[in-house]
A = this chain, B = another copy of it.
Amino acid sequence: MLTELKREAYEANLLLPKYGLINLTFGNASALDRARGIFAIKPSGVDYTVLKAKDMVLVDLEGKKIEGKLNPSSDTPTHRRLYLGFEKVGGIVHTHSSHATSFAQAGRAVPIFGTTHADYFYGEIPVTRKMTKQEISNGAYEWETGNVILERFKKLDPLDCPAVLVNRHAPFTWGLTVAKAVEVAVAAECCAHMALMSLQLVPKLGEIEPELLNKHFKRKHGPGAYYGQKK
C-alpha cells in the first residue's frame, strides 16, 4: 500500500546520515499523501544501515497506524501536528544536526547574516519558547512539541521559513515534499555553522539588510523567481 510514498520517505531518511545530519538514530523523515490523509514515517530507533523501504510505517492524520510491523518514530505526533497545522506541507524532517542543535540547546534563533541563509529562509530560523512542565508531562509530549512550533508560527508563513529550532531540543524542517525538507535541513545546518563562526568574528553582528534578503529569497521563491531551470 502506498509503495511510492514509503519509498519517498525511505530515501529521505537515508539522505540524513549521508549528509552528516544524523548521529546514531537521532532523527527521522516523513512524507504525506494529503489526499488520503496518510503519511509514511521511519520506525522508531531502527539503525539507518539496516532500514528498508518496507519498514516505513503508515499513519493517518488521526494518529492511527494504518500499516507496518514496527512502531513508528516516537516523534510521530509532532509530525502529525505539523501536517495538521501547516496545510501545504508534504514532508517533514527532524534531525539533531550538530550546529543547528547547538543553537536550539542555547535557546537562540539562527540569525540571518548572509545570502546563503536568505536563499532558503525569509528571516532568522526561529526558536520556540521552552515547553512548560505541564506540556512535557501530560502524556502528549510529542504532540505538545508540535503545538509550541505552531504557536511560534502564528505570524509566520511556514513556506517562507521552512525550519524551526525546538528550544533545548533540535531542528525540524519541512517543505512541499520530503525531498525539499531534506534540502532545507542541509541548508539550516550549514547556515547555523556559518552563523556561529560569523558571531565569533563579530560578536554583535547585525542581520542582513532587508533589500538583500528580499532579493535573494525572491530570486528563488515566488512568481519572480529566476534561479534554476523551468519545470
Contact B229–A170 (Cβ < 8 Å)? no
- Among A61-87, those with CB < 8 Å from B are 70-71, 74
A147 at the interface (CB under 8 A from B): no
User: Smallest distance from the beta carbon of A96 to chain B beta carbons, Å?
Assistant: 5
- Among A52-111, those with CB < 8 Å from B are 70-71, 74, 96, 98-99, 101-108
Contact A202–B137 (Cβ < 8 Å)? no
A143 at the interface (CB under 8 A from B): no
Contact A168–B114 (Cβ < 8 Å)? yes
In the complex, chain B residues whose CB is within 8 Å of the CB of A45: 227-229
Choose among B108, B131, B194 the residue that contacts A105 (Cβ–Cβ < 8 A). Answer: B194
Cα of A116 to Cα of B100 in the assembled complex, Å: 12
User: Smallest distance from the beta carbon of A128 to chain B beta carbons, Å?
Assistant: 13
User: Smallest distance from the beta carbon of A192 to chain B beta carbons, Å?
Assistant: 9
Choose among B24, B169, B201, B205 the residue that contacts A114 (Cβ–Cβ < 8 A). Answer: B169
| 6 pairs, CB–CB < 8 Å, chain A vs chain B | A46-B229, A71-B228, A96-B190, A101-B116, A114-B170, A115-B170
